[in-house]
A and B are shown apart, each in its own frame.
Chain A
Amino acid sequence: EADIYQTPRYLVIGTGKKITLECSQTMGHDKMYWYQQDPGMELHLIHYSYGVNSTEKGDLSSESTVSRIRTEHFPLTLESARPSHTSQYLCASSEGQGDTEAFFGQGTRLTVV
């Protein structure tokens, strides 16, 4: 069973607020990912990290930022939330290079009003 956790599961917040979505894994995986997914739509990679102090932007441009100070922790921050940020955010992790499976957290469903 995968040990990757996201908090909060659901978040409703007002426009302009700063938010941080938490993601932690206890598997010691080097690689971590953030995906954005609207209902019924495809997964879009917005950020990834291949180790401590390494972060890269994904294929979909995002106004969010990430940090990787510890192996197990990969938080995502929105400095000023907007309604266009309403979506589901999925965190994942995997071991080693690009050829290993990814384990997903349960997701954070964000609604900006």
Chain B
Amino acid sequence: QKEVEQNSGPLSVPEGAIASLNCTYSDRGSQSFFWYRQYSGKSPELIMFIYSNGDKEDGRFTAQLNKASQYVSLLIRDSQPSDSATYLCAFGMDSSYKLIFGSGTRLLVRP
């Protein structure tokens, strides 16, 4: 079992819709969770991080964490064509120096 599982997509949504991206992880020792966005040919850039169970909102983005279910998600409200990219989830542990990435979900927002 991979440490981080993401649906590779593509996830296609119309402009203005809510895009929902999901990620599951296997290590219960994981303490911090990150969502990165990566445009084609570019480096990943951090969108959000979340450490505690529940929701965390930042503008159009909401991260949701459920440690009991080992599940983290990212909601993008009012999706725009410029949101079309690959979204990577990642997790880290306080006891480890590694940051583990999922394989990413490709999001396509149709105008």
Contact = CB atoms under 8 A, between A and B. Distances in A.
A107 B43 contact: yes
A105 B97 contact: no
User: Chain B interface: which size bin?
Assistant: 20 to 34
Interface residues of A, number: 27
By DSSP majority rule, is chain B's interface helix, strand, loop, or mixed?
A: loop
Contacts of B94: 97-99
A106 B43 contact: yes
Given A90-B43, A98-B97, A100-B92, A42 B32 contact: no
B84 to A, nearest CB: 14
B92 A99 contact: yes
B93 A42 contact: no
Interface of A: 31, 33, 35, 39-43, 45, 48, 50, 56, 58, 90, 92, 94, 97-107
